[in-house]
């Protein structure tokens, strides 16, 4: 049987892949694995869970199923309502909850949805804990009755606790900055504009009218065309865009030029390094981060440590080795001094804070790194288990030697599809395209299924 949990929880088309029955069964298993719900009789204390969601219409029935499963298992539930994933993570810790649940499919279209579980302290689960929840699905449970059942209450006012938290992390007011914010018709549509206004910025919000079906539709961090247009037409200083659950952030400078996650990390790392706040003068990135980022960090005296693709792997390395800044090109930026997960609102506030404190426009700050042309070809319908066959390894050797320090080659299997990804960086887009196309042809032949 295929593993239910992917790289970021469980996702699928709501009502087909992710049903109410599955959501309830998962919450019951999670209650026992994460909340030790079965220990209530011995301890006299019911475990506590917080549950949040993004505005998708399907989140309503999935929330009902999750809450029912938790309460039936003897877990008290605080319903947080529509909030970003990082807000749910923060509140899991701040409210002393035993577990957190977020219902979202992030940047996916509206018909999809997902379930993410969080452990005590607001951290994402390890593979081992996710496997344990899967293993215990459908187990024959002894459910509590009477005073043993969980109680459910609404805790929508806790959104302000999260806003107050992110604002207390700032070292500079945003007075005078004119900002456009794109909330992707998603989970940040209320908290992000409110926080930015309270930080002192003049804010124009777009993508902030969710109807349950328009999340990520033409807006947000995966659709930057609208915010680029609005920033330029309004003469704004810059724009920030979140995805559906607001755990990532991308930016746009005053000319409408995109500032990606690597550039955002470079700006934050340089500022933290200059203020003596960057732990061990190191930032954690993934193997997909642009070579330009690594070269810029080297020139700034900052070490870059690479992990596998996925913010959870970035976080694991940060926690294990004591680093406080890391992230991905996609805009997942983790500031571990202030958050347990990628937090789009927190990232944008600190990026804006660097602009405000320095008085330097984002366009100039982002120039700390020069992105190299990066070509990614997804070679589909191949045997991804053959990504390390000798023919492919040999084919990579020549372009790697040819590119030297001015480029690189990365070939890796997809984590979810029968696909091998070929990524090439070079000094020119033409050269990168040429090398990537050549290697993609080798993959199709050497890795045929």
Query: Measured between alpha carbons, how far is residue 388 from residues 308, 383, 412 in Å?
Result: 16, 11, 9
Residue 142 is a catalytic residue: no
Whose structure tokens read 């500032």?
259
Q: Which one, of 54, 60, 46, lies nearest residue 152 by Cα?
A: 46
Query: Measured between alpha carbons, how far is residue 83 from residues 123, 284, 345, 417 in Å?
Result: 17, 27, 12, 30
Q: Which one, of 285, 2, 312, lies nearest residue 126 by Cα?
A: 312
Q: Which two tokens stand for residue 446?
A: 């050497």
Q: Which two tokens stand for residue 372?
A: 């190299």
Query: Measured between alpha carbons, how far is residue 353 from residues 80, 198, 225, 234, 365 in Å?
Result: 28, 13, 24, 21, 12
Return the half-sphere exposure (C-beta side, CA atoms, 13 A cut-off) of residue 187: 31
SS3 98: coil
Residue pair 383/419 in contact (Cβ under 8 Å)? The answer is no
Residue pair 198/163 in contact (Cβ under 8 Å)? The answer is yes
Which is catalytic among the residues 106, 221, 330, 348? Answer: 106
What amino acid positions are annotated as catalytic residues? 106
């Amino acid at each position: 049987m295929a593993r239910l949990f992917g790289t970021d929880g469980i996702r699928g088309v709501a009502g087909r892949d992710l049903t109410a029955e599955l959501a309830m069964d998962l919450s019951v298993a999670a209650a026992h694995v994460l909340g030790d719900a079965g220990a209530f009789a011995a301890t006299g204390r019911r475990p506590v869970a917080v549950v949040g969601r993004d505005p998708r219409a399907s989140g309503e029935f999935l929330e009902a199923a999750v809450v029912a499963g938790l309460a039936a298992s003897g877990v008290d539930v605080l319903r947080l309502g529509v909030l970003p994933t990082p807000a749910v993570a923060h509140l899991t810790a701040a409210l002393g909850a035993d577990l957190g649940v977020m219902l979202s499919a992030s940047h996916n279209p509206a018909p999809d949805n997902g379930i993410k579980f969080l452990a005590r302290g607001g951290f994402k689960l390890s593979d081992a804990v996710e496997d344990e929840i899967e293993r215990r699905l459908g187990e024959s449970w002894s459910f509590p009755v009477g005073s043993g059942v969980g109680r459910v209450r609404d805790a929508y006012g806790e959104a302000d606790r999260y806003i107050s938290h992110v604002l207390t992390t700032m070292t500079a007011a945003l007075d005078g900055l004119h900002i456009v914010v794109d909330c992707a018709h998603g989970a940040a549509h209320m908290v992000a504009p409110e926080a930015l206004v309270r930080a002192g910025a003049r804010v124009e919000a777009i993508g902030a009218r969710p109807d349950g079906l328009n999340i990520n539709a033409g807006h947000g961090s995966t659709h930057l065309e609208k915010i680029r247009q609005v920033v330029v037409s309004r003469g704004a200083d810059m724009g920030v865009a979140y995805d559906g659950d607001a755990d990532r952030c991308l930016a746009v400078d005053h000319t409408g030029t995109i500032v990606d996650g690597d550039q955002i990390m470079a700006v934050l790392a340089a500022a933290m390094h200059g203020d003596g706040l960057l732990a061990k003068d190191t930032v954690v990135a993934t193997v997909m981060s642009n070579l330009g980022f690594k070269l810029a960090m080297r020139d700034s005296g900052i070490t870059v440590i690479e992990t596998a693709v996925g913010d959870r792997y970035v976080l694991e390395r940060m926690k294990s080795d004591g680093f406080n800044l890391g992230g991905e090109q996609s805009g997942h930026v983790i500031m571990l001094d202030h958050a347990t997960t990628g937090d789009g609102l927190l990232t944008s506030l600190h990026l804006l804070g660097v602009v405000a404190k320095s008085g330097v426009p984002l366009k100039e700050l982002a120039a700390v790194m020069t992105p190299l042309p990066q070509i990614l070809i997804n070679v589909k319908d191949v045997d991804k288990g053959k990504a390390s066959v000798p023919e492919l390894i040999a084919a990579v050797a020549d372009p790697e030697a040819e590119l030297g320090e001015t480029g690189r080659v990365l070939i890796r299997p997809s984590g979810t599809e029968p696909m091998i990804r070929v990524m090439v960086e070079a000094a020119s887009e033409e050269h990168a395209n040429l090398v990537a196309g050549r290697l993609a042809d080798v993959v199709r032949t050497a890795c045929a299924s």
